């Protein structure tokens, strides 16, 4: 069967959602969400502290919800109910523990055979542990011994660039600032960061397009927009509070245009669990007014198509003597590069647009009509856009389309990359950056009196390569799960295990900890929900920055999971003092009073003046984004159009000739937080009790079943002599385009080749992996 010709949006026509996916619940949110919360509070054995903690999530004097980076409303203080926020909080506030006795019972080799779910399911780590190779076990160790040995090992490396300092985006501003200060005093810019696998492309594209690597949208813009384009994200699962804003917008008549290959339940209908009447009536509201299902990686073509319609319609209006449809005031005063962009759009043929996007011309025209009919437009996006080879070009194309009608820097308009980890944006703001701006290094040098390293450091892929070829010898992880979040899991396991030193600061045990280097530590830290007291008994707060650039405080309310825990800041300070000494920086004093760290941030980073005072205001303060005020700090000092051609060939076009080759995307289930697996259900997609599933269009699935059976193996089709196989996945029918597959991260990371990454962004192409589906290999 020739998929390439029949594929043209078979998705919307052939499969109705009802027959495509078994046992799907009706709307997102609703009673299913409430029931699930109760189960999670009980399942984590944290009903009391968990429930108490929830009441203080995202409250002015509580902690920032570790669930996601969506903004909090400016007004009102009622806790906005969020099922997945409940899971994140109760997962941390569990009363289960992973004490030294647990490690005494299990060798590291044995634990490597456990699932992610089982490892973290043991509960919170309680004491610092050091790996003992002779017994293949982690043994308890004193904090001071750990700091001394880590410091000594780091000082013993041939060059500071032999160490990698990884950050996961949950780290607070204060922890991240101290961490980068320590690593730079030590002498390196090696800051691989979860953001390299996440919104890197957004930062790079926006920096070039608008002169600021962040979004320009505030929550109130969602109240004013006439149209909202939601591209490549699944907020029902990953940003549930965003659904409330989308729903309110839809209710007042705004159009919501979704681009997503997969029909995601939360974007179709949403029942608000906070609305009692709605809950009792079993009602739900439609969200998307238009649901376009492009092929994986087809968004650049889709937006190019929209631009083509807009420019053609505008030309026709002008020719007929009517007013232009473009915002010439904006284009003349604030934008650069339109002629070259116009030429690029004209040079792009419709058949390339339709083939790469997989959409029909009518669908693209309908989206363009919404765009043209709206006075104010917001565009949001996440991983469905950022994890492809041409992600930077795609985001610039979205920006191009928005510039045409001045959809930036006015109320109800703007570009909104929806961030993932709750403080990933803040970490970058305070200096977690392998290519730091010179002005920032100048400020550090002036404040601390040292010579900062100036060369570019390693991002995630460079760090992996360096560990593999032996040029990096130490890995420090401030949170996260490097081994499971990165591509090519087998290669990364070798990379970590080959190190002279591995150190993980963590709340729960994960697979990264089970790949010890020659000297290896797991150091347990306080979580965000826990009270952090200094030596004088005073409680300390940290700060975070959300997707809308709002900076606010976060203070825990629960008793720490163990008396031996230290804060991330305390741990970094301990390692730093043992490595670089305390002459230039009094690490112990900073760890004992985070106000002092905030003073240093205020001294060295623009926008943080009077930090301590402003962050204690109820909702914190907003970091200014000049692009939102139409001040564009690009080389031309204008919003800058790009003029990239469409990709020469997309993965879909590569796969089109072969009946067993597909493009696979790896996404999140409803019951996980990245590599943390809360449970085995994916309620909105109708999957229960399993994660080894792969979704396919019903027609593709029927053909595959006939050829390969019910359960299949997936083999990476990237040709580099390495065989990458993910074994034993059940095929599940779903409403999505022909030729595409979807399955869960991190189980499928084994298939993502290190050699496939975004142009300019270096982000692994986790949303477009070329794979072959084959019959299960017979058991040996
Ligand atoms: N509960 C929960 N919340 C989370 C997380 C979590 O794991 N669990 N993770 C956090 C983090 S770090 C992040 S970055 C965010 C992630 O938030 P999302 O970006 O929503 O995460 P994914 O599950 O990867 O979903 C990607 C979506 O993009 C679609 N998609 C895939 N490829 C394409 C494409 O080529 N084009 C288009 N248009 N769509 C495509 C998929 O079908 C899917 O709906 O969520 C954050 N919040
Ligand atoms: N195939 C594929 N791969 C992907 C993605 C994808 O969509 N597909 N998404 C990518 C994205 S968007 C991201 S952001 C990365 C995520 O990559 P990471 O940020 O590295 O991974 P997480 O799973 O968020 O990290 C979970 C671990 O963090 C630790 N932890 C939890 N809370 C705390 C805390 O408060 N302090 C400290 N110190 N540790 C804590 C726990 O030990 C837990 O095991 O993965 C990327 N990898
Ligand atoms: Mo992320």
Q: How confident is the model at residue 337 (pLDDT cuts 50, 70, 90)?
A: very high
CA distance 591 to 534: 8
Count of the separate structural domains present in the chain:
3
Q: Does residue 313 lie within any of the structural domains?
A: yes
Dig out the tokens for 776 from the structure. Answer: 């299960």
Mutate-to-test residue for ligand 1 from 236, 383, 746, highest number of ligand atoms within 8 A of CB: 383
Q: How confident is the model at residue 23 (pLDDT cuts 50, 70, 90)?
A: very low
The answer on 565 and 654 residing in a single domain is no
Helix (H) or strand (E) holding 502: strand 501-506
Q: What are 462-512's pLDDT values in tens digits?
A: 999 999 999 999 999 999 999 999 999 999 999 999 999 999 999 999 999
Judged against a pLDDT cut of 50, whether residue 198 lies above it is answered with yes
Task: Supply the CATH number for residue 286's domain.
Answer: 3.40.228.10
Q: How is 571-638 classified by DSSP, letter by letter?
A: HHHHHHHHHH-SSS--HHHHHH-HHHHHHHHHHHSTT-TTHHHHTTSTT-EEPP-GGGGT---STTSS
Minimum mean pLDDT range among 42-56, 451-465, 583-597: 42-56
Judged against a pLDDT cut of 90, whether residue 136 lies above it is answered with yes
The answer on 219 and 161 residing in a single domain is no
Q: Specify the pLDDT at position 286.
A: 84
Residue whose C-alpha is closest to residue 129's, from 509, 510, 569, 523: 523
| 592, HSE (Cβ side, Cα atoms, 13 Å) | 7
Q: Specify the pLDDT at position 87.
A: 83
The answer on 258 and 219 residing in a single domain is yes
DSSP 8-state secondary structure symbol assigned to residue 422 = T
CA distance 51 to 73: 22
- 228 Cβ inside 6 Å of ligand 2: no
Q: Does residue 639 lie within any of the structural domains?
A: no
**363 CA distance to ligand 2 centroid (A)?**
36
Whose atoms come closest to the Cα of 525: which ligand?
A: 2
Beta-bridged to residue 758, according to DSSP, are: none
Q: What are 150-197's pLDDT values in tens digits?
A: 999 999 999 999 999 999 999 999 999 999 999 999 999 999 999 999
**420 CA distance to ligand 2 centroid (A)?**
10
Q: Does residue 181 lie within any of the structural domains?
A: yes
Minimum mean pLDDT range among 142-146, 448-452, 549-553: 549-553
**Burial class of residue 542, CB neighbours in 10 A (0-12, 13-18, 19+):** buried
Mutate-to-test residue for ligand 1 from 168, 198, 384, 736, highest number of ligand atoms within 8 A of CB: 384
Q: Specify the pLDDT at position 138.
A: 98
432, 396 Cβ separation under 8 angstroms: no
Is pTM beyond 0.85? Reply is yes
Residue-wise burial string across 359-384, b where 16 or more C-beta atoms lie within 10 A, e elsewhere: bbeebbbbbbbbbbebebbbbbbbbb
Residue whose C-alpha is closest to residue 489's, from 520, 512, 523: 512
Q: Specify the pLDDT at position 77.
A: 37
The answer on 410 and 540 residing in a single domain is no
Mutate-to-test residue for ligand 2 from 116, 461, 506, 674, highest number of ligand atoms within 8 A of CB: 674
Q: What are 29-42's pLDDT values in tens digits?
A: 665 665 565 566 55
The answer on 215 and 171 residing in a single domain is no
**360 CA distance to ligand 1 centroid (A)?**
24
Ligand 1 atom 31 nearest Cα = 384
The answer on 683 and 718 residing in a single domain is yes
Q: Does residue 73 lie within any of the structural domains?
A: no
**339 CA distance to ligand 1 centroid (A)?**
34
The answer on 678 and 597 residing in a single domain is no
Last residue of a domain, one of 404, 421, 438: 421
Atom from ligand 2 closest to the CA of residue 481: 20
- 674 Cβ inside 6 Å of ligand 2: yes
Residue 421, classed as helix, strand or coil, is: coil
Terminal Cα-to-Cα distance of the chain (whole angstroms): 33
Q: Does residue 699 lie within any of the structural domains?
A: yes
The answer on 300 and 210 residing in a single domain is yes
The answer on 536 and 408 residing in a single domain is no
Dig out the tokens for 442 from the structure. Answer: 């100048």
The answer on 179 and 280 residing in a single domain is no
Task: Supply the CATH number for residue 748's domain.
Answer: 2.40.40.20
The answer on 482 and 430 residing in a single domain is yes
DSSP 8-state secondary structure symbol assigned to residue 63 = B
Q: Does residue 146 lie within any of the structural domains?
A: yes
Last residue of a domain, one of 596, 616, 636: 616
Q: Does residue 460 lie within any of the structural domains?
A: yes
The answer on 406 and 273 residing in a single domain is yes
Task: Supply the CATH number for residue 439's domain.
Answer: 3.40.50.740
Judged against a pLDDT cut of 50, whether residue 78 lies above it is answered with no
Last residue of a domain, one of 399, 421, 443: 421
Q: Specify the pLDDT at position 93.
A: 87
Whose atoms come closest to the Cα of 668: which ligand?
A: 1
Angle among Cα 584, 589, 593 to the nearest 5 degrees reads 130
Q: Does residue 687 lie within any of the structural domains?
A: yes
Q: How confident is the model at residue 63 (pLDDT cuts 50, 70, 90)?
A: confident
Instruction: State the residue range of the domain holding 377.
Output: 200-421
- 261 Cβ inside 6 Å of ligand 1: yes
**320 CA distance to ligand 3 centroid (A)?**
48
Q: How confident is the model at residue 15 (pLDDT cuts 50, 70, 90)?
A: very low
The whole-chain average pLDDT of the chain stands at: 91
Ligand 2 atom 11 nearest Cα = 198
Identify the residue whose tokens are 């339109």.
338
- 573 Cβ inside 6 Å of ligand 1: no
């Amino acid at each position: 069967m020739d998929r390439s010709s029949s594929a043209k949006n078979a998705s919307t026509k052939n499969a109705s959602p009802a027959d495509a996916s078994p046992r799907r619940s009706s709307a997102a949110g609703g009673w299913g969400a409430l029931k699930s919360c109760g189960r999670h509070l009980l399942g984590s054995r944290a009903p009391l502290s968990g429930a108490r903690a929830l009441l203080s999530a995202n409250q002015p004097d509580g902690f920032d919800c570790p669930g996601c980076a969506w903004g909090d409303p400016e007004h009102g203080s009622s806790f906005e109910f969020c099922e997945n926020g409940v899971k994140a909080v109760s997962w941390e506030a569990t009363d289960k523990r992973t004490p030294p006795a647990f490690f005494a019972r299990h060798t590291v080799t044995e634990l490597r055979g456990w699932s992610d779910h089982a490892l973290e399911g043991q509960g919170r780590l309680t004491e610092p542990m050091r790996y003992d190779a002779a017994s293949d076990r982690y043994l308890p160790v004193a904090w001071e011994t750990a700091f001394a040995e880590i410091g000594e090992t780091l000082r013993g490396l041939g060059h500071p660039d032999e160490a990698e300092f990884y950050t996961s985006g949950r780290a607070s501003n204060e922890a991240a600032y101290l961490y980068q200060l320590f690593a730079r005093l030590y002498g390196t810019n090696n800051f691989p960061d979860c953001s390299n696998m996440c919104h890197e492309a957004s930062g790079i594209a926006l920096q070039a397009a608008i002169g600021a690597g962040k979004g320009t949208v505030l929550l109130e813009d969602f109240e004013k927009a006439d149209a909202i384009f939601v591209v490549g994200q699944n907020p029902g699962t990953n940003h549930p509070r965003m659904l409330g804003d989308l729903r309110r917008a839809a209710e007042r008549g705004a159009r919501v245009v979704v681009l997503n290959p997969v029909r995601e339940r939360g974007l179709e209908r949403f029942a608000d669990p906070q609305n009692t009447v709605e809950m009792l009536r079993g009602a739900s509201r439609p969200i998307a007014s238009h649901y376009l299902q492009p092929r994986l990686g087809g968004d650049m073509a889709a937006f190019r198509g929209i631009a083509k319609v807009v420019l053609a319609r505008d030309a026709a209006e002008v020719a007929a003597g009517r007013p232009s449809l473009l915002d010439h005031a904006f284009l003349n005063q604030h934008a650069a590069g339109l002629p070259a962009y116009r030429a690029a759009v004209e040079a792009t043929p419709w058949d390339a647009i339709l083939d790469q996007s997989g959409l029909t011309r009518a669908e693209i025209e309908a989206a363009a009509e919404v765009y043209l009919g709206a006075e104010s437009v917001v565009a949001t996006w996440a991983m469905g856009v950022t994890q492809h080879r041409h992600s930077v070009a795609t985001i610039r194309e979205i920006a191009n389309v928005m510039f045409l009608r001045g959809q930036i820097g006015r109320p109800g308009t703007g570009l909104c990359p929806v961030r993932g980890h709750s403080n990933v944006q803040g970490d970058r703001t305070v200096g977690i950056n392998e290519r730091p701006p010179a002005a920032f290094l100048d400020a550090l040098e002036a404040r601390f009196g040292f010579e900062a390293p100036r060369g570019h450091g390693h991002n995630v892929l460079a760090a992996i390569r360096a560990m593999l070829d032996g040029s990096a010898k130490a890995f420090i992880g401030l949170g996260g799960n490097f081994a499971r979040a990165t591509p090519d899991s087998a290669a990364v396991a070798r990379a970590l295990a080959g190190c002279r030193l591995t150190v993980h600061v963590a709340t729960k045990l994960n697979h990264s900890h089970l790949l010890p280097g020659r000297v290896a530590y797991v150091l347990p830290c306080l979580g965000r929900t826990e009270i952090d007291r200094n030596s004088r008994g005073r409680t300390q707060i940290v700060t975070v920055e959300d997707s809308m650039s709002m900076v606010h405080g976060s203070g825990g309310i629960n008793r720490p999971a163990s008396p031996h825990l230290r804060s991330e800041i305390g741990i970094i300070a301990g390692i730093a003092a043992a490595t670089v000494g305390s002459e230039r920086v009094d690490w112990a004093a900073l760890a004992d009073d985070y106000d002092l760290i905030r003073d240093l941030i205020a001294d060295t980073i623009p926008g943080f003046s009077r930090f301590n005072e402003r962050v204690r205001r109820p909702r914190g303060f907003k970091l200014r984004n000049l692009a939102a005020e139409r001040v564009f700090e690009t080389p031309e000092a204008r919003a800058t159009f790009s003029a990239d051609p469409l990709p020469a060939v997309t993965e879909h076009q590569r796969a089109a000739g072969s009946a067993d080759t597909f493009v696979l995307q790896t996404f999140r289930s409803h019951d996980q937080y990245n590599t943390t697996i809360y449970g085995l259900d994916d309620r909105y997609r109708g999957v229960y009790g399993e994660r080894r599933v792969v979704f396919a269009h019903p027609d593709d699935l029927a053909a595959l079943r006939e050829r390969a059976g019910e359960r299949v193996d997936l083999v990476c089709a990237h040709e580099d002599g390495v065989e990458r196989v993910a074994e034993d996945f059940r095929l599940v029918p779903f409403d999505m385009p022909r030729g595409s597959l979807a399955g869960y991260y991190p189980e499928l990371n084994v298939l993502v080749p290190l050699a496939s990454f975004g142009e300019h962004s270096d982000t692994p192409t986790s949303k477009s992996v070329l794979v072959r589906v084959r019959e299960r290999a017979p058991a040996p």
